[in-house]
Amino acid sequence: MADGVQILRRNRPGSKAKDFCRWPDEPFEEMDSTLAVQQFIQQTIRRDPANLEAILKMPEAQDEGVWKYEHLRQFCMELNGLAVRLQSECKPETCTQMTATEQWIFLCAAHKTPKECPAIDYTRHTLDGAACLLNSNKYFPSRVSIKESSVGKLGSVCRRVYRIFSHAYFHHRAIFDAFEKETHLCKRFTYFVTKYSIISKEILILPKLDDETPISQTVGESEA
Amino acid sequence: MDDSSVSHHNGGQVGSQIGVSVNNKQNEESSQSVQYSIPGILHFIQHEWARFELERSQWEVDRAEFEARIAFLQGERKGQENLKNDLVRRIKMLEYALKQERAKFHKLKYGVELQQGDVRPPPEEPPTEPEPAEKAQWKQGRQLIKQYLQEIGYTDTILDVRSNRVRTLLGLNNEEQVEDPNYRNYDNKFRERCGDSPINSLIRKYDYGGKEQRKGGVATGGGYNEEGLSNQETAAVFANFEFLANQEMDMDEIDDLDANKPHHTSGKQGEEVDHEAEEVLNELNLLTESEADGGGQGDEYPVGGVVGGVAAGGGEADDKPLALGELAQLTVSNEPEAYDVAGANKESFRKTWNAKYTLRSHFDGVRALAFHPTEAALVTASEDHTLKLWNLQRTVQAKKSAGLDVEPLYTFRAHTAPVLCLAMGAPRSEECFSGGLDGTIRVWNLPPPTADPYDPYDPAVQGPVLREHTDAVWSLASAHGRLLSASADGTARLWAPRAARPLLATLRDDAHAAHPAPAAAADFADGGARAAVVYRDGTLLLYDLETSQVVVRIACESAAGRVRAHPALPLLVTAHEDRHIRFWDAASGRCAHAMVAHLDAVTGLALDPNGLFLLSGSHDCSVRLWNLDTKTCVQEITAHRKKFDESILDVAFHPLRPYIASAGADGLAKVFV
């Protein structure tokens, strides 16, 4: 099937790990799939995960809601990697609460009444909850157009997800750094929420990772 | 009666006393003056004779009465026995019908015949059908009793008792009871109701059944229905009756099989002409349809038997189909249409699978899925590095569609790269295995199906990790506590996943030791004695797992992405990029069959647990169900959307329940019922 004329972008069983998804880029205009935005984002990330501008440069005539939605999906997906690393180190005995700085204790919103989950549970529950919400047939039935009311949901997901970064940064710095070096995920996330003003600057408690000074330490409410 | 006999005895004694006293008198008289006269003596003897005669006749009456009583009790006992046997038989038949129903349910839901050892017609009622010699004896005895009863006039009482019993047993009230309990009466009434309409043909059929039954009634000892129940106007009784009549016929010789066919046709005629006696027909439809079913079933049964490897002996085979048909009637009456289709032609029959559950929670393509060995649960493995456990019995009704959304029960996180393959552990082991692009194979302990997704993190969910593969693990198969993996590093490996030294064997193709082609998929074959491994270059190798040596080598020009071994036959099925599905004789390595199965590369393959159907998925976005026998496509389902040029990545059958599932590059998994 895979002749020279037609490029088939698929991972055939038996492919080497290094060849996984290693196919020529497909121009966004030629993507006719309903998953075009995801394809495009993943393709750009694969090319260079550090090139935040390229990754977050929205193609023209792209619906911004879908663009943000797909990016958030990608963040949550890649955060699984951080969660995996945290699982080995972040124990309920040591991190009994979800904290970043000592200023706030974050309550886990996955439960009927928000409660003080240990950090690892908070991380997992938040990611699981985000997976459910972002895949919810009720709020996000389509991946090509998104209701205005549902776009508002993205903000709360982003706020909670950011706490995972901040907990890792302040309590598991080695893991955070190793992960960040590989994925540039926190930088990308910060860039993303700032660019689209999804969460207010005050909540972004992590110091600028590459350069500049830490931004304001006054943070938002601890509501779940 | 005891009283009367006692009085008789007394009478006798009194008589003798009188005799004695008479003698005394005579002695006295003789002592006084002897006055014997011949006429006097004669008179005395005559008198005595008459008295003895009277007593004798009285005793005879007594004896007759006792005999009658014995006969009555015996008759009652026999009746009870018959009743008991019949009830036992009924229980067996209901049991069997239940099994049939389960099998049918399985078939309807699943599209496959449930090939279980326990689905057999019950053994042909040994209690009601004694050995011929015994039967003759029994028949004789019965006739004798009958004679007695008739002489004595107990018949009615006994029959009443019995019919009452039957009625109570059948749960009918006996208030409607009319004097003359005769089966034919019902027919006559029936005839009156129907007038001279062509429905007579139908009735004739029942007459026939009745006669048959009369013939067989005495012989088989199931005769209580002969006189027992009659003129209830309820269809239930009639159905019952007919059912029993059929049963009797069934017990008779094979020519009844032929007799059944005319039934079938007459039934059909009846259905065609039904404007006048519609309600009657409705009542009867049930019966005729089930008869038709019986015919259909009978025709197809041998086929099923052969497929299942059951060589039914001649006489038995003749009996079984009929029994099947009748028994089926018990269960199908409320959905005759569906069943008619089933009975009419098995080849054309299929259950249509419909999407019921959509499993959305993965952020990227779902690479593999596997059903829980027993529960209505499954695990999916995705490129988003996670696996998720889903309980299909915990659902949320989706808003617009008829489908149900399921939320995952648990998310397994440990892989650091896309998860590519999945295998479920043995029943009750509550474990599953996953292989990833990161080259690891992980053992997972499945949380209970009642777990809450937001429970605290339990590290015990993670089991051992097998790290010997040096490249992506693309395929896993589990059987008999062992695990078989195929990897892009060119090897397939055999594991005892929980052992201290888990790696049991490494299967390498020595012919290409220098540049091993990456292995794409592997499966256990030959009851776990061999391993079938397909490579990216299209080679299909069969390894002996004892020696780790290649025993069969098959070259194929097109790369295959999946291999599955048939659960019962020495047959391997491979899914190829050139749109073909190929079937290989696992013993000789010959290509048994090749077919263009899809419009694009075939990606997923699954065989149903009975080995009758094949499920395939392809990048052409469709899932297809194939009849393995005829190699024809039974159903096609368009299930998933494309991401890049990938669509469906895996398909699966539930090992026990009527579920099939597909996994797609669009991040969804779908379950069909």
What confidence tens digit (pLDDT) does each residue in B543-591 have? Answer: 998 888 889 888 888 888 899 999 888 899 999 999 999 999 988 888 9
* Averaged confidence pLDDT in chain B: 71
Would the CB atoms of A14 and B519 count as touching at under 8 Å?
yes
How many CB atoms neighbour CB B635 within 10 A?
20
Domain that holds residue A140: 64-224
Q: Considering only CB atoms, which chain A residues are within 8 Å of B605?
A: none
pLDDT of residue A111: 84
Residue A41 forms part of a structural domain: no
Beta bridge partners of A49: none
CB contact under 8 A, A35 and B642: yes
Residue A202 has a pLDDT of 79
In a domain, A169, yes or no: yes
Which residue among B472, B619, B641 places its CB closest to the CB of A35?
B641
A124 → closest Cβ in B457, B559, B643: B457
Place of tokens 């950090």: A119
Query: Which segments of A are annotated as binding site for Zn(2+)?
Result: 90, 95, 167, 172
- For the full predicted model, state whether its pTM sits above 0.80: no
What's the mean pLDDT in B310-327? 38
A20·B408 Cβ contact <8 A: no
B454 neighbourhood in chain A, CB within 8 Å:
108, 110-111, 121, 125, 128-129
Nearest to B457 among A9, A74, A120 (CB): A120
Question: How far away is chain A from the Cα of B360, in angstroms, using its nearest Cα?
Answer: 6
Determine whether the interchain pair A84/B457 forms a contact, defined as Cβ–Cβ distance below 8 Å. Answer: no
Q: Which pLDDT score is estimated for B589?
A: 86
**Average pLDDT estimate for B484-512:** 88
- CA-CA-CA-CA dihedral for B418, B421, B426, B430, to nearest 10: 20
Q: Could you give the C-alpha distances from B382 to A131, B477, B523, B663, in angstroms and in order?
A: 13, 17, 21, 9
Residue of chain B minimizing CA distance to A132: B361
- Which residues of A make up each annotated binding site? 90, 95, 167, 172
Q: Give the chain A residue nearest B575 (alpha carbons).
A: A13
Answer whether A77 sits within 8 Å of B364, measured CB to CB. Answer: yes
Query: Which residues in A lie closer than 8 A to residue B645 (C-beta atoms)?
Result: 8-10
Establish if A42 belongs to a structural domain: no
A52 in any annotated domain = no
B515 within 8 A of B535, measured Cβ to Cβ:
no
Set of chain A residues whose Cβ sits within 8 Å of the Cβ of B362: 131, 135
Per DSSP bridges, beta strands B540-544 and B530-535 are antiparallel
Instruction: Inspect the interface and report whether the beta carbons of A13 and B475 lie closer than 8 Å.
Output: yes
Minimal CA–CA distance to B638: which of B651, B652, B620, B660?
A: B620
A38 is a domain residue: no
How far, in Å, CA of A111 to CA of B447, rounded? Answer: 19
Q: Is residue A54 part of a domain?
A: no
User: Judging by DSSP bridges, how do beta strands B473-479 and B602-607 pair with one another?
Assistant: unpaired
Of B385, B405, B518, the CB nearest to A14: B518
A74:B363 CB<8 A: yes
Is A81 in Cβ contact with B459 (below 8 Å)?
Answer: no
Distance from CA of A9 to the nearest CA of B (A): 5
CB-CB under 8 Å, B520 with A87: no
Give me the pLDDT at residue A212, please: 38
Checking if the pLDDT of A200 tops 60, the result is: yes
As for how many domains chain A has, the answer is 1
Chosen for mutation from A25, A132, A135 (greatest number of chain B CBs closer than 10 Å) is A135
Tell which wins on pLDDT, A4 or B666.
B666
The pLDDT of residue B557 = 84
Q: Give A37 to chain B, closest Cα distance, Å.
A: 10
Query: Tokens in use for B163?
Result: 């019919």
Do B413 and A138 count as a contact with CB atoms less than 8 A apart? no
Contact A128 B408 (CB under 8 A): yes
Residue B269 pLDDT class (50, 70, 90 cuts): very low
Say if residue A21's pLDDT is above 80: yes
CB contact under 8 A, A13 and B386: no
Residue with more model confidence, B47 or B310 = B47
Q: Which residues of B touch A117 (CB under 8 A)?
A: 456
Distance from CA of B425 to the nearest CA of A (A): 22
**Assigned domain for A162 exists:** yes
pLDDT in tens, B323-370: 443 433 333 333 333 333 333 344 445 578 888 888 889 999 999 999
- Using CB atoms, pick whichever of A1, A26, A83 lies closest to residue B577: A1
Question: Considering the domain boundaries, does residue A2 fall inside one?
Answer: no
Check pLDDT > 60 for residue B44. yes
What CATH number corresponds to the domain at position A190?
A: 1.20.140.30
pLDDT at B285 over 80: no
Q: What is the residue-wise DSSP string for B598-643?
A: -SS-EEEEEE-TTSSEEEEEETTSEEEEEETTTTEEEEEEE----B
Per-residue pLDDT at B204 exceeds 60 = no
